[in-house]
């Protein structure tokens, strides 16, 4: 009887260990497929690791990297700003839930180090990317119709899921595939796997010619520059360079139509902005930046408190009689991390976030993967509230926890 109990305990412990080990790999596999699965398995990884930390009382190295400390301070001061915030209850709760991701970064870092599963996470990242990329190509060339799924789950409210994106918006789709393309180059040169070079090219083609995210175009171009910088002078990696140059020549093919359309749309957005029409993507972002600058002027030191941005937008639009659709403009998300944090925490919070980014750059120390992740986060901070968005924010904290492991910085 006692022996049977021991066997059951052993089986349960083994299954829990496997669940813990595979929780983050499963999360990254479903990153572009299911938000619910992503949330559940990231939370599992956080809960498992937190339980280990509390049980072992191992608090001596809880913040192993400097940038994690700045992230922790940002969330701490957001929480403390409850004392003076001008935000409404819903916006306050939403902001705290979004920015609690800063606390996840050291926990997931410890999780990966404890389970020694960085390579497994990379493998699942690439496998998930291959599956979604295949679906994306089938959808783009109208060999697969997913409209019934979109309608059932109400996934296409503002047309964000169109052309290349399958289950996530164009911004998330493009940014994640930028990373997968970059990660594939890293994996290919280390494992001598030529198929991963092809995967990288297919990801880049998908981003530039089938997707419509200008944020992703900028990220991908910078990542291509980094790849060329690291590999161009090494003859044995010439195949990488030639493959990427080949991808550039596709700009001269009919596939470039999507990119040309994006340039045309950008021009139209700017023309609308000159006519004080803020309904376009660029117009809204310009309006939100203007409001953010005004917020700093009115409360320069400590800001207006957590979750305050939405009410500040409403006040600014009403006071200045801005002609814009309120359902588009009035939001707690300014699509710019610098504006989001500075509105809530003033120059104090803005400096903390700049230090967060600077420490990321300094920590990367000219390392291939880390510089790529820094590029993704810094560019996204200008065009999106990187940590505020649920899926994009989880993507950011996962790749931060992954590529800043010591094994990738040596």
What rounded mean pLDDT belongs to the chain? 83
Q: Phi then psi for 206, rounded to 5 degrees? A: -60, -40
Find the mean pLDDT for residues 325-329. Answer: 73
Instruction: Round to whole Å and give the CA distance between 146 and 132.
Output: 13
pLDDT above 80: residue 394 = yes
Distance between CA 53 and CA 35 in Å, rounded? 27
The encoded tokens of residue 111 equal: 């999780």
Which of these ranges, 75-79, 123-127, 162-166, has the smallest mean pLDDT? Answer: 162-166
pLDDT value of residue 144: 82
Structure confidence at residue 260 as a pLDDT band (50, 70, 90): low
Confidence at 292, pLDDT banded by 50, 70, 90: confident
Cβ distance 330 to 313 under 8 Å?
yes
Q: Could you tell me the two tokens for 140?
A: 């783009």
Residue 241 has pLDDT above 80, yes or no: no
Burial 288-300 (b: 16+ CB within 10 A, else e): bbebbebbbeebe
Backbone φ and ψ for 39, nearest 5 degrees, come out as -60, -45
Q: Is the pLDDT of residue 344 over 90?
A: yes
> Counting Cβ atoms within 10 Å, is residue 175 exposed (0-12), middle (13-18) or buried (19+)?
buried
Q: Phi and psi at residue 2, in whole multiples of 5°?
A: -60, -40
Q: How far apart are CA 377 and CA 379, in angstroms?
A: 6
Q: Rounded to whole angstroms, what are the CA distances from 148 to 145, 151, 152, 154? A: 8, 5, 6, 10
- pLDDT at position 251 is 57
Cα→Cα distances 399→23, 64, 121, 179, 263, Å: 15, 16, 10, 9, 30
Encode the chain in three state secondary structure: CHHHHHHHHHHHHHHHHHHHHHHHHHHHHCCCCCHHHHHHHHHHHHHHHHHHHHHHCCCCCCCCCHHHHHHHHHHHHHHHHHHCCCCCHHHHHHHHHHHCHHHHHHHHHHHHHHHCCHHHHHHHHHHHHHHHHHHHHHHHCCCCCCHHHHHHHCCCCCCCCCCCCCCCCHHHHHHHHHHHHHHHHHHHHHHCCHHHHHHHHHHHHHHHHCCCCHHHHHHHHHHHHHHHHHHCCCHHHHHHHHHHHHHHHHHHCHHHHHHHHHHHHHHHHHHHHHCCCCCCHHHHHHHHHHHHHHHHHHCCCCCCCCCCHHHHHHHHHHHHCCCCCHHHHCCCCCCCHHHHHHHHHHHHHHHHHHHHHHHHHHHHCCCHHHHHHHHHHHHHHHHCCCCCCHHHHHHHHHHHHHHCCHHHHC
Q: Are 381 and 109 in contact (CB under 8 A)?
A: no
pLDDT given at position 157: 46
Mean pLDDT over residues 217-230, rounded? 83
Q: Residue ranges per domain, the chain? A: 2-267+334-409
Residue 235, pLDDT score: 56
For residue 269, pLDDT beyond 60: no
Mean pLDDT computed over 182-191: 88
Q: Which of 405, 359, 410, 357 is nearest to 382 (CA)?
A: 357
Distance CA(164)–CA(210), nearest Å, equals 5
**Residue 347: CB atoms within 10 Å:** 14
Residue 228: what pLDDT? Answer: 76
Separation between Cα atoms, residue 349 and residue 296, nearest integer Å: 11
- Which tokens is 74 given? 């940002």
Round to the nearest angstrom and report the end-to-end CA distance of the chain: 51
What angle, rounded to 10 degrees, do the helices at 337-364 and 368-383 form? 170
Residue pLDDT, tens place only, 139-150: 888 888 877 777
């Amino acid at each position: 009887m006692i022996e049977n109990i021991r066997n059951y305990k052993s089986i349960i412990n083994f299954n829990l260990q496997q669940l813990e080990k595979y929780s983050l790999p499963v999360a990254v596999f479903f990153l572009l497929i299911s938000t619910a699965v992503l949330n559940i398995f990231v939370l599992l990884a956080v809960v498992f690791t937190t339980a280990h930390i509390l049980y072992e009382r191992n608090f001596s190295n809880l913040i192993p990297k400097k940038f994690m400390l700045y992230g922790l301070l940002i969330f701490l001061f957001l929480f403390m700003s409850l004392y003076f915030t001008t935000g409404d209850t819903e916006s306050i709760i939403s902001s705290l839930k979004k920015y609690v991701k800063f606390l996840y970064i050291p926990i997931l870092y410890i999780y990966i180090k404890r389970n020694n599963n960085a390579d497994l996470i990379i493998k699942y990242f690439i496998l998930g990317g291959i599956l979604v990329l295949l679906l994306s190509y089938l959808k783009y060339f109208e060999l697969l119709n997913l409209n019934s799924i979109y309608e059932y789950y109400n996934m296409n409210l503002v047309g964000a899921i169109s052309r290349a994106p399958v289950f996530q918006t164009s911004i998330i789709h493009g940014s994640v595939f930028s990373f997968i393309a970059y990660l594939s180059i890293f994996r290919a040169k280390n494992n001598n796997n030529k198929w991963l070079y092809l995967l990288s090219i297919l990801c880049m083609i998908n981003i530039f010619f089938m997707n419509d995210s200008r944020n992703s175009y900028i990220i991908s171009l910078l990542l291509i520059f980094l790849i060329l910088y690291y590999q161009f002078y090494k003859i044995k990696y010439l195949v990488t360079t030639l493959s990427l140059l080949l991808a550039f020549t596709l700009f001269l093919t009919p596939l470039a139509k999507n990119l040309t359309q994006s340039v045309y749309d950008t021009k139209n957005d700017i023309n609308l902005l000159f006519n004080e029409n803020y309904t376009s993507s660029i117009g809204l972002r310009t309006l939100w930046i203007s409001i953010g600058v005004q917020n700093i002027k009115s409360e320069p030191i400590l800001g207006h408190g957590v979750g305050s941005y939405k009410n500040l937008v409403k006040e600014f639009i009403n006071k200045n009689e801005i002609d814009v659709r309120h359902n588009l403009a009035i939001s707690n998300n300014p699509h710019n991390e610098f504006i989001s944090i500075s509105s809530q925490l003033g120059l104090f919070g803005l400096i903390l976030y700049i230090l967060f980014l600077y420490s990321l750059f300094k920590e990367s120390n000219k390392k291939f993967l880390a510089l790529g992740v820094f590029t993704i986060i810094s560019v996204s901070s200008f065009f999106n509230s990187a940590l505020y968005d649920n899926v994009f924010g989880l993507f950011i904290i996962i790749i931060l926890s992954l590529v800043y492991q010591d094994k990738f910085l040596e």
